Every structure is written in C-alpha cells, then in structure tokens.
C-alpha cells in the first residue's frame, strides 16, 4: 500500500486554498485488496451551534470475485457459482452533528443524508447471473439517511480500541431514480450495525481487547427488482463516508462460510473477537505482531422474508496478525462448525484479511 502519493496530492490541493478553508478540510482514505476509496469533507459550514456540519464527497472502485448461488437452498457448488465484478461508486451528502465529542474534535452523534451511486460491470462468461435483475451489469442510484453514533478511540501505543459505534439507516433505491438504465433496482433497505470495543489489558508485553459486532439487514420490494448485489450484502455504514458500505452478507461476514453463501432478504449476524498484540515486540517502530480468536454466528430467511433460526450457522477460528500503517494484516484459519450436508462446502479454510474484520 502506498499512501505517499495520495497524501502529497491532498497537501498540494490544501496549500492552494485560503488558510481558514484549508483548516476545515477533512481527508479520508481506505484500501481494498484490489481497489480503494478517497473522500474529502468540509466542515466550515455550521448549521447548528456547538456541532459540526460536514459536507462529504467520495469516490472509489475495485476488482473483486463474487459468487451467486442460484438455488434458494444454496446447493450450487462454489466452483460453479463464481463471477468477477469491476465496480465504481460515488457519494455526495452531509453529516449533521447532534452531539459533539470535544476531546476528539468531532461529532459523537450525527444525522446523515447521502446520495449514493454505483456502477458494476460483470465478467460472467458462464452466465451465472442470467435471469437476475442485473445480468447485464448494474447502474444504481439511491438515497441513504440515518443516525450514526461513534465514541470509538484507538490507542496506537498498545494497539487497542474502546468505545461504541452504531449506525441505523434506511436506503431507498426506487426505479424512478434512473434505476432501470442498466439492470433494475426498486427496493428499500433497513439496516443496523452496532459494534463495541473493550480493552481488558494494556501492557507493553501484551495488550488485549474484546470486540463484538451485531448486523441486521432487511430488504423490502419485489423479488424481480432486488439485485443480487443487495441480497448478498449487509447495508449500513461502517465508516463515513467510505469503507465497506455495503459489505458482504452472511457468506463473508460470518468467517469460514463461502462468500455470498446464504443470501436473502432478511439476515442477521454477530461477530465476537479476542484481539492480542505485543507492543514490546514492535519491529522498526512500525510493525506490531499479534494474535486473534473469533466466534461468529448468522441467520437468514432462505429468501422467504421470514428470518429462520433453524439452524444458526456458526464458525470459529483464529489468526496471526501484523499491525502496520493503521491496518491489521491477518492470516485467518476458519472452521465452519455446522456446514450443510454437501461435499461442496469445506469445513476448514484459510483467508487473508486486510484490516480487522470490523
């Protein structure tokens, strides 16, 4: 990952602005395994006293592989469900502060309103997506609004986090918003994301903190007008205004499950992590080694709009961690604890993670 060119570009742009305006600019960036996101914010416009009003614009894109299991019982083998997606997304909107966190000079609670656009081009030589609302690609426009609470704080010395992050959102993607130009979208999405972080030990020899995340997602609309890319993802906001929004559904959010497995209109998942780092072993004052263990659970509706808890899909595992440049690089060992009775689903897998799971 090369952050120098991006930071240099921002410094050159801000240097050309009046000093007062430059001080009100915010810059965010994120990376994907094969892609990235950039965002620029301006908080010089204050609509309410004592809190920030932040105007955001962002753009990103990436290249990724994905799966679509056409049968409602997900009986298709992963080797016959794969295709490739080249995607781009862009956003414009504002975050209006309601409560302010003075010690971090940012909003604690804010209301958000965003226009979101995305284009997805599929390389699908096997015709995996034939008959779906986005078989020939997807151009989608939507409006997202909601509330975001963020009290999280990262301690870079001990490599721990504390605090709570929550996002309650509603997203509207009506067909009348030019959502029939490439593919079809006509649905509403309700989503909840709630994460908590609790340090239990902060020492140079070893630091430990606990992390937990709850996800809920519900799609409302006609089956023929809800794209596969909505069914196979969770909505909500993991970061403002960039990040994995939306991010992978049960297959992906529950580690150890094949990606995009168990897609549906209503789904929920929980992730629990124990994360250890060893600050005393930091290399070159840059790389900190660590370990982690996790336990995940997830349920979905089997495309019936009725959430089913029979069964609750479970996974557990652990990983080797290197923390550097603000990211956890993780080699996961996953165990799907109760896989379906299918020779196509592996119980044990290995994955590489760029950044902590949440």
C-alpha to C-alpha distance for 125 and 356, rounded to whole angstroms: 33
pLDDT at 277: 97
Is it true that the peptide bond before 325 is cis, omega within 30 degrees of 0? no
Residue 149 has pLDDT above 80, yes or no: yes
Is pLDDT above 60 for 126?
Answer: yes
- How many structural domains comprise the chain? 1
pLDDT tens sequence across 84-125: 999 999 999 999 999 999 999 999 999 999 999 999 999 998
Bridging pattern class, strands 35-42 and 288-300: unpaired
Q: Per-residue confidence at 167, pLDDT binned at 50, 70, 90?
A: very high
- Count of beta carbons in the 10 Å neighbourhood of residue 350: 10
Name the pTM for this structure.
0.90
Predicted pLDDT at 3? 47
In the chain, beta strands by DSSP E:
25-32, 35-42, 53-67, 82-101, 106-123, 138-150, 153-155, 160-173, 187-202, 207-221, 233-234, 247-248, 266-277, 288-300, 308-324, 327-336, 348-354
24-62 tens-digit pLDDT:
999 998 888 788 899 999 999 999 999 999 999 999 999
Q: What is the pLDDT of residue 353?
A: 87
- How distant is the alpha carbon of residue 179 from its chain centre? 23
CA 223 to chain centre: 24
Round the average pLDDT of the chain to a whole number and report it.
90
Report strand pairing: 348-354 vs 138-150: unpaired
The Cα–Cα gap between 215 and 358 comes to 11
Higher-pLDDT residue of 79, 268? 268
Q: How many CB atoms lie within 10 A of CB 328?
A: 20
Q: Which alpha helices (DSSP H) does the chain contain, by range?
A: 4-15, 19-22, 228-231, 250-253
CATH number where 59 lies: 2.40.160.50
156 CB burial (10 A radius; 0-12, 13-18, 19+): exposed
- For residue 141 the two structure tokens come to 């426009």
Can you tell me which residue has the tokens 């029979």? 310
The pLDDT value recorded for residue 161 is 96
pLDDT at 304 over 80: yes
Band (1; pLDDT cuts 50, 70, 90): very low
The mean pLDDT value for 336-350 works out to 90
Give the up-direction half-sphere exposure of residue 301: CA atoms within 13 A in the CB hemisphere. 16
Residues written for the chain: 358
- Residue 261 CB coordination number (10 Å): 25
The whole-number average pLDDT for the span 238-254 is 80
Q: Is 104 helix (H, G, I), strand (E, B) or coil?
A: helix
Q: Which residues, 6+ apart, have CB-to-CB distance to 167 below 8 Å? A: 146, 147, 148, 149, 191, 192, 193, 194, 236, 237, 238
**Given a cut of 90, is residue 236 above it in pLDDT?**
no
The pLDDT assigned to 2 comes to 42
Distance between CA atoms of 284 and 110, rounded to whole angstroms? Answer: 39
Structural domain that includes position 55? 4-354
Q: What is the arithmetic mean of pLDDT over 298-326?
A: 94
Give the span between the Cα atoms of 104 and 66, in whole angstroms: 38
Does the pLDDT value for residue 216 go beyond 50? yes
Asked if residue 239 has pLDDT above 90, the reply is: no
Write out the two tokens for 109. Answer: 């609670």
- CA–CA separation, 208 and 315 (whole Å): 22
| Bridge partners, residue 290, by sequence | 277, 321
Q: Annotate 304-317 with b (16+ C-beta within 10 A) or e (fewer).
A: eeebeeeeebbbbb
- Is the pLDDT at 269 greater than 60, yes or no? yes
Distances (CA, A) of 348 to 258, 312, 330: 11, 18, 16
Q: Which of 150, 140, 145 is nearest to 106 (CA)?
A: 150
**Least confident window among 12-21, 124-133, 243-252:** 12-21
């Amino acid at each position: 990952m090369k952050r120098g060119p991006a930071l240099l570009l921002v410094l050159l742009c801000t240097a050309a602005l009046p000093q007062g305006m430059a001080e009100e600019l915010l810059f965010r960036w994120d990376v994907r395994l094969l892609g990235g996101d950039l965002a620029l914010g301006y908080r010089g416009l204050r609509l309410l006293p004592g809190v920030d009003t932040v105007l955001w614009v962002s753009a990103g894109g990436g290249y990724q592989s994905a799966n679509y299991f056409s049968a409602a019982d997900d009986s298709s083998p992963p080797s016959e469900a794969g295709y490739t997606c080249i995607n781009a997304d862009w956003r414009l909107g504002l975050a209006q502060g309601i409560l302010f966190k003075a010690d971090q000079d940012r909003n604690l609670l804010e209301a958000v309103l965003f226009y979101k656009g995305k284009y997805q081009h599929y390389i699908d030589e096997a015709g995996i997506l034939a008959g779906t609302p986005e078989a020939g690609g997807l151009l989608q426009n939507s409006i997202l609004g909601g509330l975001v609470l963020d009290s999280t704080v990262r301690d870079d010395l001990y490599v721990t986090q504390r605090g709570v992050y929550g996002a309650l959102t509603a997203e509207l993607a009506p067909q009348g918003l030019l959502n029939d130009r490439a593919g079809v979208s006509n649905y509403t999405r309700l989503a909840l994301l709630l994460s908590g972080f609790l340090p239990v030990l902060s020492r140079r020899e070893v630091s430990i903190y606990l992390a937990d995340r709850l996800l809920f997602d519900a799609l409302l609309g006609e089956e023929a007008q809800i794209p596969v890319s909505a069914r196979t993802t969770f909505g909500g906001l993991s970061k403002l205004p960039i990040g994995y929004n939306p991010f992978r559904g049960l297959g992906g959010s529950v580690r150890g499950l094949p990606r995009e497995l168990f897609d549906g209109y209503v789904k929920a998942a929980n992730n629990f992590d124990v994360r250890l780092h060893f600050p005393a072993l930091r290399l070159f004052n840059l790389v900190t080694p660590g370990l982690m263990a996790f336990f995940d659970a997830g349920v979905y509706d089997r495309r019936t709009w009725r959430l089913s808890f029979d069964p609750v899909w479970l996974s557990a595992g652990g990983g080797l961690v290197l923390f550097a440049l603000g990211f956890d690089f993780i080699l996961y060992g996953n165990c799907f604890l109760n896989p379906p009775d299918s020779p196509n689903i592996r119980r044990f897998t290995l994955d590489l993670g760029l950044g902590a799971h949440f």
